[in-house]
Amino acid sequence: MTAYHRPSESLFVDIRGLRYHVRSWGRPGAPKLFLVHGWMDVSASFQFFVDALKGDWHILAPDWRGYGLTQWSGADTYWFHDFIGDLDKLLAHFQSDAPVRLLGHSMGGSVSSMYAGVRPERIARLVNV
């Protein structure tokens, strides 16, 4: 059996004064699925998950502030409320018109869960890994 490798595209967007890197897989018109990584990780680590995922999805995975290809911020701007604010603006940028499907891993799961607590109307589905 040959492994299938879905290619990704790098997108860059301005979020709260930072140049954010967002990895995108799939067809832009397909249903969106947002993936957020954990501490000391990057969006590219979702490649194995994306390759195994069935169905037609447009998957978007940011590198958090200071991770991967996303710009670093000041020394005292890496608190949970900073990540939650970034997530809110990222989701609004890519899907402002409907609640989102969100999967978070490790620290990304904590940020996603807290976000769902403060903005439940923005969440259609939440998976915490």
Residues 86-126: pLDDT tens digits? 999 999 999 999 999 999 999 999 999 999 999 999 999 99
For residue 111, being part of any structural domain is answered with yes
Domain that holds residue 40: 8-128
For residue 107, being part of any structural domain is answered with yes
For residue 3, being part of any structural domain is answered with no
Instruction: Please give the residue that has the higher pLDDT: either 48 or 4.
Output: 48
**Domain tally, the chain:** 1
For residue 94, being part of any structural domain is answered with yes
For residue 21, being part of any structural domain is answered with yes
What CATH number has the domain bearing residue 86?
Answer: 3.40.50.1820
DSSP string, 56-120: --EEEEEPPTTSTTSPP--TT--SHHHHHHHHHHHHHHH--SS-EEEEE-THHHHHHHHHHHH-G
